[in-house]
């Protein structure tokens, strides 16, 4: 189920150029706020742009931002977490301190500060999300590494003469990557909502670039005139969130046979 | 020089409480000595059995030799080379010459690697090129008596005995001079225990290996070791030839250990020599002879004066004021 939604989402993002029926940027002042019709499947917005096409292109942005942000923070968290877990004690203490410090900021506040400093743009959003979520992955990797450091198979590798790089990447990594990928797929909807939230607040992707958050924002402003904009921006957000969460849970069940007791 | 391994006055300490805790609770000595003042030798081609109760420091001693736990003081000499003070990177070459078998045969194999990769790994670790690792893996498997079909198996698909054989094959890959075996028979069926011991015996003859076998299984060690070292609270209390120790233990602790071995003959009555009480805490070592709290022969002197290692006539050494021979 989750997998199907995710696949559909990826197809619509990749094929946005073919799937969109109109240019998402073209304004048509005479065709403002139309209800859904055969011509405009989801109607038009206050500037007369085709909402269906904007939703499709918005999905591309959402997916691009979330996949980039999640994979960067996954890699960052993996490396820092393994360093903290396997490295010297002082490094561990330092990294845990940094993780806790970063996590103590509410993400939205942190994002507001960063956007104010760097200006709203997609790279800024990605940076904010990466910095805020590295500790989430880092902590899990650190704990797993710590618990694996004293296991007999790691000792056995050391006894054979294996260095820390080999132990970390060829023996510890394969054992932590499973839970981490599950977490990542569950983090993707969170990231998409953060991106939509920031765009909704006007701090994310700059208009006129179509994003779900900015479609929602338009809908919010014109909700007295038409419900379609809010529905068009909100529904894909809900579906995507559900899809990735289902996918994450399916992955978790597949990776962890102990949970498979229906 | 016939000594392959020579340990002198070895001491391994572990910190039990953190620096701040120690200050707050006014703990003057936040360390425990897991291994204390241990001296022993293993000759080429010889098997030394290291025997003691759980927590007596046997495993720590073996791990210290491989540099897996930091040594506080003393000396470890392997084939004329001093190991204490070597940097981690310098230790790698040493680990080529010393193999280690860990207690849990299955858990000591990396869970996400198949046997083929596990057997090829020692060569990759030491950057040995020009080796056909596939052929080597097959050769090693046949040495330890495993079918080639195991090449694609993962650790969790192996039984204890099979995993043990894979572990042995891995240590043999680098042609070590000595193998330190930590409870090589623990957790195995008696018949499998026998197979593993026969295999170890066979390898010793074939490759001239020396063994240091850590165990608490006395019937096993009696058959495989040339000499014994008995450990109590991190110290060696007695060492000497296996035959002489089994014939006539000199230390009361050794005597009690030997008496605790179950006898197959129910009619054979033996003097019941039970150990009183628990093994004392390493944090609070008893004064004098550390065994006096449990010793049936303890006298006033034992409570005050720690006994030094006393050489007995037959090449044995014992830490007791009143040896039983």
> Where exactly are the structural domains of chain B?
3-318
- What is the C-alpha to C-alpha distance for residues A111 and A219, in angstroms, rounded to an integer? 23
Closest CA to A59 of A154, A196, A181, A155: A196
Q: What's the average model confidence in pLDDT over A89-94?
A: 91
**Identity of the highest mean pLDDT range in A222-236, B26-40, B243-257:** B243-257
Token pair, residue B236, equals 């060696």
User: What average pLDDT does the segment B60-76 reach?
Assistant: 91
CA distance A79 to chain B (A): 20
Q: Are strands B178-182 and B3-15 parallel, antiparallel or unpaired?
A: unpaired
What distance in Å separates residue B25's CA from the closest CA in chain A? 22
Flag the least confident range among A128-137, B154-163, B261-270. B261-270
- Where residue B12 falls (left for φ over 0; alpha for ψ -120 to 50; beta otherwise) is beta
- The residues near A163 (Cβ < 8 Å, ≥ 6 apart) are B89, B92, B125
Using CA coordinates, name the residue in chain A closest to B155: A153
Would you state the pLDDT for residue B272? 61
Instruction: Please state which of the ranges A5-9, A60-64, A158-162, B72-76 shows the lowest mean pLDDT.
Output: A5-9
Q: Which of B21-35, B183-197, B203-217, B280-294 has the lowest mean pLDDT?
A: B21-35
* Cβ separation A162–B111 shorter than 8 A: no
Query: In chain A, what percentage of residues exceed pLDDT 70?
Result: 93
Min CA distance, B214 vs chain A (Å)? 16
Integer Cα distance of A245 and A257 in angstroms: 19
Q: What is the pLDDT of residue A261?
A: 46
Please compute the mean of the pLDDT values over residues B227-243 and round it to a whole number.
Answer: 92
The reported pLDDT for the residue numbered B274 is 66
pLDDT confidence band for B163 (50 / 70 / 90): very high
Query: How many Å apart are CA A103 and CA A95, to the nearest integer?
Result: 12
Residue B271: predicted pLDDT: 59
Within 8 A of A160 by CB-CB distance, chain B residues are 95, 121-122, 125, 170-171, 174
Residue B325: is its pLDDT beyond 80? Answer: no
Residue with tokens 């991190």: B234
Measured CB to CB, residues of chain B less than 8 Å from chain A are 63, 66, 68, 89, 91-93, 95-96, 98-100, 102-104, 107-113, 121-122, 124-126, 155, 167, 170-171, 174
CA-closest candidate to residue B242, choices B225, B260, B257, B218: B225
pLDDT at residue A135, rounded to an integer: 92
Residue A128 and residue A114 in contact, taking contact as beta carbons nearer than 8 Å:
yes
Interface size A-B, in CB pairs within 8 Å, comes to 65
DSSP 8-state symbol, B145 = T
Q: What is the pLDDT of residue B270?
A: 58
Q: In a mutagenesis test of the B interface, which of A160, A177, A255 is the best target, namely the one with the most B β-carbons within 10 Å?
A: A160
The band of B15, judged by pLDDT with boundaries at 50, 70 and 90, is confident
Percent of chain A at pLDDT exceeding 90: 17
pLDDT at A258: 52
Residues of B in contact with A162 (CB under 8 A): 121, 125
Tell whether the torsion through CA atoms of A93, A99, A103 and A104 is positive or negative: positive
| Contact residues for B239 (Cβ-Cβ < 8 A; gap 6+) | B40, B227, B228, B229, B230, B316, B317
- Tell me: pLDDT of A103 over 50: yes
Report the DSSP pairing between strands B178-182 and B210-215. parallel
Residue-wise burial string across A39-55, b where 16 or more C-beta atoms lie within 10 A, e elsewhere: ebebbbbbbbbbbbbbb
Phi, psi torsion values for B254, nearest 5 degrees = -60, -40
Q: How many CA atoms lie within 13 A of B42 on its CB side?
A: 29
What percentage of residues in chain B have a pLDDT greater than 70? 97
CB contact under 8 Å between A160 and B104, yes or no, is: no
Q: Looking at per-residue confidence, does A16 or B176 come out higher?
A: B176
H helix or E strand, kind and range, residue B15: strand B3-15
A175 to chain B: nearest residue by CA?
B112
Query: Residue A131 is encoded by which pair of tokens?
Result: 């910095």
pTM of the prediction?
Answer: 0.79
Mean pLDDT of chain B: 87
Q: What would the two tokens of residue B148 be? A: 């080639």
State the best of B108, B127, B166 to mutate against chain A, taking most chain A CBs within 10 Å: B108
For residues A111-131, average pLDDT: 85
CB B216 within 8 A of CB B54: yes
Residues A147-185: tens digit of each pLDDT = 998 888 999 998 888 888 899 988 898 888 888 888 888
* Mean pLDDT, residues B62-91: 88
User: What residues of A are in contact with residue B104 (Cβ under 8 Å)?
Assistant: 152
* Fold entry, domain B3-318: Rossmann fold (3.40.50)
* Closest of A260, A256, A243, A251 to residue A5, by C-alpha: A243
Per-residue model confidence (pLDDT) at position A257: 53
Test B126 with A156 for CB contact under 8 angstroms.
Answer: no
Distance (Å, rounded) from C-alpha B89 to C-alpha B103?
A: 25
Residue with tokens 């765009």: A199
Which residue from B192, B190, B189, B224 is spatially nearest to B205, judged by alpha carbons? B224
- What strands lie across the sheet with B81-82, from one edge to the other? B31-43, B3-15, B73-78, B81-82
C-alpha to C-alpha distance for A13 and A17, rounded to whole angstroms:
9
Contacts of B126 in chain A (CB under 8 A): 161
B77: nearest Cα among B2, B139, B152: B2
Work out the minimum CA distance from A153 to partner chain B, whole angstroms: 4
Check if the interface score ipTM surpasses 0.90. Answer: no
Residue B212's SS3 state is strand
Give the H/E segment covering residue B240: strand B235-241
**Token representation of residue A37:** 């019709």
Contact residues on chain A for B99, CB-CB shorter than 8 A: 159
Task: Give, as one character, the DSSP assignment of residue B249.
Answer: -
**Backbone angles phi and psi of B180, in degrees to 5:** -100, 120
Of the two residues B119 and A19, the one the predictor is more confident about is B119
- Domain A2-256 maps to which CATH number in 1.10.3720.10, 2.40.50.140, 2.80.10.50, 3.40.190.10? 1.10.3720.10
Q: How far is A257 from chain B (nearest CA, A)?
A: 14
Residue of A nearest to B66 (CA): A159
Q: What confidence score (pLDDT) does residue A262 get? A: 45
């Amino acid at each position: 189920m989750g997998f199907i939604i995710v696949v559909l989402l990826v197809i619509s993002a990749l094929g946005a150029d073919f799937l969109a029926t109109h240019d998402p940027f073209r304004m048509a002042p005479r065709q403002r706020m139309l209800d859904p019709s055969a011509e405009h499947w989801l109607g038009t917005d206050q500037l007369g742009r085709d909402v269906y096409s904007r939703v499709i292109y918005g999905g591309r942005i959402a997916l691009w931002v979330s996949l980039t942000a999640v994979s960067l923070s996954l890699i960052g968290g993996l490396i820092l977490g393994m360093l903290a877990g396997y490295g010297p004690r002082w490094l561990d203490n330092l990294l845990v301190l940094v993780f806790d410090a970063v996590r103590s900021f509410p993400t939205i506040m942190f994002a507001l500060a960063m956007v104010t400093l760097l200006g709203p743009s997609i790279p800024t959003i990605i940076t904010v999300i990466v910095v805020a979520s590295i500790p989430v992955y880092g902590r899990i990797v650190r704990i797993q590494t710590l618990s694996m450091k004293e296991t007999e198979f790691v000792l056995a590798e050391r006894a054979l003469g294996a260095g820390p790089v080999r132990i970390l990447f060829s023996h510890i990594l394969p054992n932590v990557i499973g839970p981490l990928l599950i977490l990542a797929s569950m983090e993707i909807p969170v990231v998409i909502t953060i991106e939509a939230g920031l765009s909704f607040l006007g701090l994310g992707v700059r208009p006129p670039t179509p994003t779900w958050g900015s479609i929602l924002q338009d809908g919010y402003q014109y909700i007295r005139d038409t419900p379609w904009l809010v529905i068009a921006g909100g529904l894909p957000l809900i579906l995507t969130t559900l899809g990735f969460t289902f996918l994450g849970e399916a992955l978790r069940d597949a990776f962890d046979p102990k949970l498979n007791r229906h | 020089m016939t000594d392959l391994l020579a340990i002198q006055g070895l001491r391994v300490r572990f910190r039990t409480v953190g620096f701040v805790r120690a200050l707050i609770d006014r703990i003057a000595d936040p360390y425990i000595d897991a291994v204390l003042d241990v001296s022993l030798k293993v000759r080429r081609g010889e098997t030394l059995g290291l025997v003691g109760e759980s927590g007596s420091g046997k495993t720590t001693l073996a791990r210290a030799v491989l540099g897996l736990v930091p040594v506080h003081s003393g000396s470890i000499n392997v084939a004329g080379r001093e190991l204490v003070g070597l940097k981690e990177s310098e230790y790698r070459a040493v680990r080529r010459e010393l193999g280690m078998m860990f207690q849990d045969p299955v858990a000591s194999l990396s869970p996400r690697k198949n046997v083929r990769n596990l057997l090829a790994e020692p060569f990759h670790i030491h950057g040995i090129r020009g080796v056909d690792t596939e052929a080597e893996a097959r050769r090693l498997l046949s040495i330890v008596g495993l079918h080639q079909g195991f090449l694609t198996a993962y650790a969790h698909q192996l039984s204890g005995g099979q995993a043990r054989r894979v572990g042995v094959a891995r240590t043999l890959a680098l042609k070590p001079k000595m193998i330190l075996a930590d409870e090589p028979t623990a957790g195995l069926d008696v018949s499998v225990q026998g197979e593993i011991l026969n295999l170890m015996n066979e390898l010793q003859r074939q490759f001239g290996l020396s063994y240091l076998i850590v165990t608490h299984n006395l019937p096993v060690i009696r058959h495989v070791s040339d000499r014994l070292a008995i450990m109590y609270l991190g110290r060696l209390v007695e060492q000497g030839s296996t035959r002489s120790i089994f014939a006539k233990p000199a230390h009361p602790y050794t005597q009690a250990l030997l008496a605790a071995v179950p006898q197959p003959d129910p009619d054979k009555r033996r003097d019941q020599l039970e150990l009183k009480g628990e093994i004392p805490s390493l944090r609070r070592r008893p004064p004098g002879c550390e065994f006096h709290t449990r010793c049936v022969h303890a006298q006033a002197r034992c409570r005050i004066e720690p006994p030094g290692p006393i050489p007995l006539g037959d090449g044995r050494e014992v830490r007791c004021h009143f040896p039983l021979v």
